[in-house]
Structure 1
Amino acid sequence: MKIVVQVRLFPDAGQEAALRDTLGLCNEAANLASSEAFGRRVYGKQALQRITYGRLKAMGLSAQPAIHVARKVAGAYATLKANILAGNLGKPGSKRRRKAESKPIRFRADAAQPFDDRCLSWQIADRTVSIWAVGGRLNRVRFGCSAQQYAVLSAHRKGESDLVCRDGKWFLYATCDIPDVEVKEPDGFLGVDLGIANIATTNDGTRRSGKRLNRVRHRNQRLRAKLQRIGTKSAKRLLKARRRKEARFAADTNHRIAKQIVTEAERTGRGVALENLTGIRDRVRLRRPQRVTLHSWAFHQLGRHIAYKAERAGVALVHVDPAYTSQGCSACGHIAKANRPNQSTFRCTSCGFAEHADVNAARNIATRGAADWAAVSLPNAA
């Protein structure tokens, strides 16, 4: 499996200026290639490379950076096409979709740029890199990382690395190819119900959220709304600074939750059963205050974190249909809207079984996970 390791670069003043010029030129070239692709309706990697290579070279790019610029542009259009087909930009004719389809994709001056091993070499033992730049190759650019990141880089780094400038800081996102771990046959499944009041609840009864987490989320929403109403330059500057802070908070929380879930499943020899989150924002009907929470929390990111951590640990993972998991009784299977009188309570109107609503839903997810796994692994079983 492939994972990305982020390391921080510490260039001196001259190196930083060269990196900034390099990133700026690469993205200026990307905008030229994007305009060419849009005007000619040519979006394939090879075809776009053929029609833009000479002009990109003339701008001052070497051979490999020019190729990577064309491929970056082609990849951006492929992503746009996939989003349109998935309906992520609205229905045909919608304002957002028309805007996306009516003009070429534009790249920021500091947008990420990929480098392969011909343009970027790692001296991992010395914690330095050598990287191509428009004014000549930069040698011995220092980088820093944790001990765990260093171990992964040393053993598994392979492929491209992306140069990123974010808030005035420089990073390399290095691709690492880690050997696949054989998935162990699970002895049952740990069901995980994802929600708003509790972000993740397992069928063991563990609820991962709590008042503190929701308090931080709501405080961030109030501060963001207040700053948006003020609208001054300083307010906009604070909004920009808080954007990164909120994203880091969400990512850190999701990493912690995912690690706890996968560790528990691995310890008990079980697999992990998750809801299929596709279209969750369209399926769920909520009051206006709750919609903000639903749309602001990275449920999909949490699902991705659980998936890749489970893959690294050899833990089986299945995604199940979430339909009626919150209304169905995990004891007798009876489904009724009246089974759930409020957000936290489940009380079966047929057999009288009572449990926390999220725990009951997680038990239903665990049951469906076991059934789906059996159907896939033992398709001919009686």
Structure 2
Amino acid sequence: MRTAAWTVVGSLLLTGCEFNGWYDVPLPGGAASDGHAYHVTVDFRDVLDLVPQSAVKVDDVTVGAVEKVELDGWHARVRLRIADSVKLPGNAVADLRQTSMLGEKYVALSPPAGTRPVGRLRDGDRIPLSRSGRNPEVEEVLSALSALLNGGGVAQLKTITVELNKALGGREDRVRSLLKQLDTFLGGLDDQRAEIVRALKGVDRLAERLRKEKNTIALAVDTMPPALKVLADQRRDLTKMLTALSGLGRTGTRVVNASRADTVADLKKLRPVLQELNKAGDDLPDSLEILTTYPFPRNATDAVKGDYVNLKITADLDLADLYGNVTGKPGKGGKSPGPGTPRLPGVPTPAPLPSLPSLPSAPPLPSTPPLPSTPSVPSAPPTPSSGSSLLCPPVCTAAYGTGSGSRRLPPGTDTGLAELMLKGMLP
């Protein structure tokens, strides 16, 4: 009776102070409540039977306690008190664990696994649901094990084992070889992982391109049947064409084989010509450049200052010399201009040309039929008064000029050609 009275009195005394019930009484072995601490709130989907004054541990060392557990919507919110000496990153994670199979629950804080720690956990911070979790309960493990043993197919393990023994019995070497080849294959795939990824990305881009061109592809598919019908209708002609092409190939091969010796001989004969052209070097292009400025040298334009040049020409228009140059017969005095013929003053004597290398004789050309002879030009009819040609009286009389200085044309002169030459010289 006395004990009950003291219990009631103690309860009344405790009720009169700031006391929230037995949850404010620290548990044996818990963290010390004195000293400086900071508070952190953690959201859990399920706290099971976690109660206030439960331990808060870091690396299995008690660093604080649970102050309050409350419901916030469809999840639980737990307020933790942690000693100031505990330094945790700002992205720390919280897990609900159990000391043993039948032990108490506690909150374990730790840095994030596989992620770089960021910042520092401070007073008033909150750990969201994405960084909290819990371990499975013993009841959940036993329930899952019971489901596996009773209806999870464990009874079929014996059948599977027996059948595997039958399938592999006597084939251990083949299975071992298969496993080695499979290991090599998987190793090759692992080595080519980057290429495989690149190929898959290429296939993805191709699929995307095909998706964009879906209408065009559909139009092409709709257009293909008429085209295939045309090909089917022309199959006989295509076959005939291919057969004729095969015959053409055989004929071409036969022609090439027959003319091979002649082609090789022609190339051998062409070789000396090409060698001489090669020896000519830059002289041949330089000589071709002179053709564009003939009869002047190509540097003649350097001496011209302005857009015109004064040129003095002395022309000897002696008819006998002109006629002799045309017909190839001697001119005045019956002599052709020799090497000692005087040249114009101020004109340098050209240097002798270098001797050209002998070229191989060209193959004989086929004979051509002779050209028909050109009819001679008829002379003009004589005038009634003099009886000589109106165009060329001197030619008709076989002489030109008057007085003692008159000269006659050389014997054998073509009078028709002379008449044409003198036609423009008559008054």
TM-score by length of 2: 0.18
* Structure in which a larger fraction of residues adopt helix: 1
Q: Which has the higher contact order (CA 8 A, sep 6+)?
A: 1
**Structure ID, larger Rg:** 2
* Structure in which a larger fraction of residues adopt strand: 1
TM-score by length of 1: 0.19
